[in-house]
Amino acid sequence: MRKLTVMLLLAAVVLVPGRSAAQKWEGLADTPQMGWNSWNKFGQNISEQLIREQADAMVAEGLVDAGYIYLNMDDCWHGERDADGFVQPDPKTFPSGIEALADYVHSKGMKLGIYSDAGRRTCAGRTGSFGHEYQDALQYARWGIDYLKYDWCATENINPRGAYTLMRDALRAAGRPIFFSMCEWGTNKPWEWAAEVGHSWRTTGDITARFAGNPRQRGWGQTVLSIIDQNAPLRKYAGPGHWNDPDMLEVGNGMSVNEDRAHFSMWCMMAAPLILGNDLSKMTDDTRAIILNKKVIAIDQDKLGVQGLRYKTENDIEYWFKPLEGGDWAFCLLNRGTEPAELNINWQDLNLTDEEVSGLSTQFDAITYNIENLWEFNAKKAKVGNTKKALKVTVPGHDVAMYRLTPNKK
Ligand code: GLA
């Protein structure tokens, strides 16, 4: 009898969903995640004071209202493990502890993200999670963490799918919904296997604040254009709950305003996570106008969740389309060159069907769309006619022209 009870109890632990930890947390990534991360601007120099300052700026600048809800610490928050093996924050830079920081961030209406690595050490040499996955997940959950970026340095020869699945299960078992952002740089083609594992996966090496030119050696020091080229062909793998992640934003970190605008627009066209990487406490008006453009953000966050497609390339100009909810389309002209391009867009030349993902067609021959210029802030001027007439536009070098097309219902 007692044996039977024990067996039943064991079966319950293994079979009851949530206890069995055999799936990722659902419902956390219906649209691509939005927030801020410390790495691109501050690198290894982070502290609880910095994170609090950025949290204050997130609210004051209206970024939280615009949807940027995750505030993510990247590498170097860590100290060592305590005698029981629980990881601790760096006592010099995070003296008040992570739980207090999470309380502060939550009190501001945001969520707090943390960073670890599947190896023994992180990329900057701090404490990694290898061999402590369940313990770390438990620690994060106790602290009130909402997001984990999980890196791939110092992983020796461990199996990537196994390592990421192990942490997914650990997060699930810890009982607190935590967004799982996989960061193995596309090395093991995560798009082929990770839809069940993570909420997003990096598709490339690290971004830098450079628009064009040769990426630096071995995949590091990517540019905006080199990343677009690697991420574009992966569109069929992205969708609600599981997104391609072409790395964090460099808007406000030194590129020209045109380049920043193009970078931000293209990340939205590609339904990419929008994780800001600049100092939010010191922003120019240009940076503000870009990252707070709600109409462009809405393209990224569209509920249909389709990553945009590069329809054609003519000289330096790329023609991008993204099908949206309710029959709308986003249309973006990307100028990869440095010279302005004068274009005459004849819509009848752009009849297309997105056979690969959504099955939707533009049908310019049958449907007339009203055209809205998403980078024109004057509401009247932003309405630039409809698709019965060709559209004349000049796209500056390293810039975009971006539009929302809405079927004219009349
Ligand atoms: C890797 C990641 C970066 C960043 C650093 C931190 O390079 O790809 O995004 O997290 O590690 O050391």
305-to-75, 286, 393 alpha-carbon distances in Å = 30, 28, 28
Q: What does the radius of gyration of the chain's CA atoms come to, in whole angstroms? A: 23
Centre of ligand 1 to C-alpha 193, Å, is 22
Ligand 1: distance of its center to the CA of 160 in Å? 17
Ligand 1 contact via 150 beta carbon (within 6 Å): no
User: Residue 22: its pLDDT value, please?
Assistant: 72
CA distance 222 to 263: 13
Q: What is the pLDDT of residue 214?
A: 84
User: Residue 20 pLDDT > 70, yes or no?
Assistant: no
Best probe residue, ligand 1, of 152, 206, 222, 249 (max atoms within 8 Å of C-beta): 206
| Segment holding 407, helix H or strand E | strand 399-407
Compute the distance between CA of residue 318 and CA of residue 314 in angstroms, rounded to an integer. 6
Mean pLDDT calculated for residue range 151-174: 97
Judging by DSSP bridges, how do beta strands 34-37 and 274-276 pair with one another?
parallel
Average pLDDT for residues 117-143, to the nearest whole number? 98
pLDDT at 28 over 90: yes
Q: What pLDDT is recorded for position 111?
A: 98
Residue nearest to atom 6 of ligand 1 (CA): 75
Closest atom of ligand 1 relative to the 149 alpha carbon: 10
**pLDDT of 8 higher than 60:** no
Supply the DSSP string of 229-277, one letter for each residue: HHHGGGGGG-BTTBEEE-----TTSSS-HHHHHHHHHHHHHTT--EEE-
pLDDT of residue 409: 83
| Centre of ligand 1 from the C-alpha of residue 123, in Å | 6
Percent of the chain with pLDDT over 70: 94
User: Lowest mean pLDDT: which of 11-25, 182-196, 215-229?
Assistant: 11-25
User: What is the per-residue pLDDT across 353-401, written as a single tens digit (0 to 9) for each?
Assistant: 999 999 999 999 999 999 999 999 999 999 999 999 999 999 999 999 9
Mean pLDDT taken over the chain: 95
pLDDT tens for 71-125 read 999 999 999 999 999 999 999 999 999 999 999 999 999 999 999 999 999 999 9
C-alpha closest to that of 183 among 170, 172, 194, 196:
194
Task: Express each pLDDT in 294-304 by its tens digit.
Answer: 999 999 999 99
Instruction: Give the sheet arrangement for strand 399-407, strand by strand.
Output: 309-314, 317-323, 329-335, 399-407, 369-373, 383-386
46 pLDDT above the threshold of 50: yes
Tell me which residue has its CA closest to atom 1 in ligand 1.
123
Q: Is 258 within 8 Å of 339 (Cβ atoms)? A: no
Q: In this predicted structure, what is the pLDDT of residue 16?
A: 46
283-309 average pLDDT score? 98
Residue 351's pLDDT band (cuts 50, 70, 90): very high
Asked if pLDDT for residue 215 goes beyond 90, the answer is no
Which residues are marked as active site? 151, 206
pLDDT classification of 3: cutoffs 50, 70, 90: low
Instruction: Give the distance (Å) from ligand 1 centre to CA of residue 23.
Output: 26
Mean pLDDT of 47-65: 98
* Mean pLDDT, residues 192-213 taken together: 97
Is any ligand 1 atom within 6 A of the Cβ of residue 124?
yes
Kindly give the number of the ligand 1 atom that is closest to the alpha carbon of 124. Answer: 12
If one counts every other C-beta atom within 10 angstroms of the C-beta of residue 148, the result is 26
Q: Is the CB of 154 under 6 A from ligand 1?
A: no
Per residue in 229-266, is it b (16+ CB within 10 Å) or e — as a string? ebbbebbebbbebbbbbbbbbbbbbebebbbbbbbbbb
Does residue 332 surpass a pLDDT of 60? Answer: yes
